[in-house]
Amino acid sequence: MTADHQILARRLREAYSAGAIDPLRDGLDPTDAAGAYAVQSINTQFWQASGRRIVGRKIGLTAQAVQAQLGVAQPDFGTLFADMAIPHGSVLATGKTLQPKAEAEVALVLARDIDDPQATPQTVAAATDHAIAAIEIVDSRIADWKISFADTVADNGSSAFFVLGNDRKSLGGLDLYTCGMVLEVDGVLASLGAGAACLGHPLNAAAWLARTLSALGEPLRAGDILLTGALGPMVSLTPGTRIEAKIGGLGSAQFHYGENI
């Protein structure tokens, strides 16, 4: 880590309250993965020291089209904190976001640690307690979402909040490859997708994360929540709306956006 990384990390932290900032081109090359994760790590440690509690990880850039757009050939990850969880069916106040979007995902909750740099989808499946329908509310501290790979990584994977549904399902009998997904805004279809859109299978994405974190010496732990990646296109949020994700075999997750519903 360098002094420049510290400056960029502070700039991102301040953007949460002061407003979105310009891309980090003055301190990070758009494809500088090591530098971007260094900035992310600085802020993760800062927030932990401030009392925030880690509850899992999120995986991003699981769609090949998005990877191509940002000039990379792999996903990215960010950290989930307990205060990012929005209860199923509750309200997310508009004042807590800058330029939010929502995407439907399969979440996995682990029953056991995974510390294996060769982890496979089967490794993840064996360590998983249950799967659950989820919505990730992504938000960028970079103005107008003009992000590079380094921008989104440094910005904790452009994370903000997440919602988990109420139906916990064991993996046995679930088909997370062909399962369909619909994301509705006020009951109207806004996004459509399937499990295969997430790096070919949500377990593929989770296995990539397990390998990556094990190699970094930060393995996944029992109880961790894993947001495995979008099953379809993101949807921009408009105040006063209800967002619901429905995923075949997993049920649904929903929330309201804005105080005046």
Q: What is the DSSP string of 207-236?
A: HHHHHHHHHTT--B-TT-EEEEEESS--EE
pLDDT digits (tens, 9 = 90+) for 17-60: 999 999 999 999 999 999 999 999 999 999 999 999 999 999 99
Query: What does the buried/exposed string (b/e) look like for 40-77 if buried means 16 or more CB atoms within 10 Å of the residue's CB?
Result: bbbbbeebeeeeeebbbbbbbbbbeebbeebebeebbb
Report which DSSP code applies to 111: S
What is the pTM for the complete model shown? 0.95
Closest by CA position to 195, among listed 211, 221, 212, 171: 171
Phi, psi dihedral angles at 209 (to 5 degrees): -65, -45
Confidence of residue 67 (pLDDT cuts 50, 70, 90): confident
Q: Which amino acid is at 163?
A: V
pLDDT digits (tens, 9 = 90+) for 86-112: 999 999 999 999 999 999 999 999 999
- Count Cβ atoms within 10 A of the Cβ of residue 190 and give its class: 0-12 exposed, 13-18 middle, 19 or more buried: buried
**What is the domain range of residue 60?**
3-257
CATH number of the CATH domain containing 76: 3.90.850.10
pLDDT digits (tens, 9 = 90+) for 177-207: 999 999 999 999 999 999 999 999 999 999 9
**Number of domains into which the chain is organized:** 1
Whose tokens are 């990012």? That residue is: 84
Take residue 146 and report the two structure tokens written for it: 């003009």
Full 3-state SS string of 139-177: CCCEHHHCCCHHHHHHCHHHCCEEEECCCCECCCCCCCC
